Amino acid sequence: MAQFQAREPCRPDPCPSADCGRQACPILAFQIYDQFRQKTCDSCGPCSSDEPCECVLLDHAGMPVYGGVLLPGHALCLPDAVGEVRVVPDSFHVHTLGAMVAQPSPIGQDCWQVEVRVEYACRLQFFDRLGRPMELRCLCTPPQSYCVHRDLRVSVCCVTSYTMYGGHGEAPAVATDLFPTSLGDGRPHALVELKAYALGASIVCMDADDCPEVYDGAYEETLRHVYLTVGAYLLLYVYRVVSLRIPSAELSIPPTRPEDHRDPCADFLSAPPHGS
């Protein structure tokens, strides 16, 4: 059986404090190959109900509105009685955020397609065409009981693709708890930072033919969906894990100075005036 002998022992170089200025220590680092900054103001939608049960819009007299049934997990379809939608203050937040290097870019040149998926969540208030707030009656647990809400929990998902440089090379399989396991297909990793703000909500009218991926037959009338206007700051990085050997410097506590018991206020008052 063939024997394999490593040329160097599999342990880090010794780095005693007295010799750190003359030796190199191995470290793991994230080498950034490409980065991208973006400031956007987009219309995201349509919003879907995040309530666990169906809800019915009520008018100012507490009566159900015709066509005002909002189904859980479906895109909101509002009746004509709803004239305005507002985001409840301090309810908007980023629910989930993820970045994934999907595949090599068709343009080649060591570029990769990076997908950023973000899901926003908030609560919405509904108003009739006279500006009066509308309540919702939702089916609660236990069955056959109802509860009345002043707002509705909703969410909306946005997926954006970017083309970024990520280098190439045959990479080994890597497993760590810092990121998903890499099986050696040569893909780099992606990291995204996002800060988003809800700038408003609007009602958008469309037909089923205009948005076939949303229309599922649950509603038959003209679709009046809710879209969120979101302002976002995004930072996207493409990186690889590399092993580096860097010279290390000795760090020590700076020398102490003798305590000074002088009064700083007395020194200031005793100083000559400026310009004298």
Across 48-52, 146-150, 263-267, the highest mean pLDDT is recorded for 48-52
Task: Give whole-number Cα distances, 274 to 264, 268, 269, in Å.
Answer: 17, 12, 12
Contact 27, 134 (CB under 8 A): no
Spatial CA neighbour of 74 closest among 229, 214, 224, 227:
214
Q: Other CB atoms closer than 10 Å to residue 186's CB: what's the count? A: 16
The answer on pLDDT for 56 being more than 60 is yes
Segments making up each domain of the chain, as ranges: 26-245
Q: State the pLDDT at residue 7.
A: 40
- CA dist., res. 110 & res. 166, Å (int): 6
**What does the mean pLDDT of the chain come to?**
80
Lowest average pLDDT, out of 48-52, 145-149, 180-184, 248-252, goes to: 248-252
Tokens, residue 25: 């220590």
Q: State the pLDDT at residue 274.
A: 60
- CA dist., res. 192 & res. 181, Å (int): 18
Q: State the pLDDT at residue 141.
A: 60
The answer on pLDDT for 16 being more than 60 is no
Q: Which residue has the higher pLDDT, 71 or 218?
A: 71
Tokens, residue 250: 């000795």
* pLDDT bucket at 184, cuts 50 / 70 / 90: low
Q: Which residue has the higher pLDDT, 260 or 54?
A: 54
Q: Which residue has the higher pLDDT, 183 or 247?
A: 247
Contact 186, 220 (CB under 8 A): no
Query: Structure pTM?
Result: 0.73
pLDDT digits (tens, 9 = 90+) for 89-107: 999 999 999 999 888 888 8
* CA–centroid distance for 28 within its chain: 26
Q: State the pLDDT at residue 24.
A: 73
- How large is the average pLDDT for residues 196-206? 92
pLDDT digits (tens, 9 = 90+) for 136-182: 998 776 656 678 889 999 999 999 999 999 887 666 677 777 766 66
Percent of the chain whose predicted confidence (pLDDT) is above 90? 45
CA angle 170, 35, 24 (to 5 degrees): 60
Contact 93, 106 (CB under 8 A): no
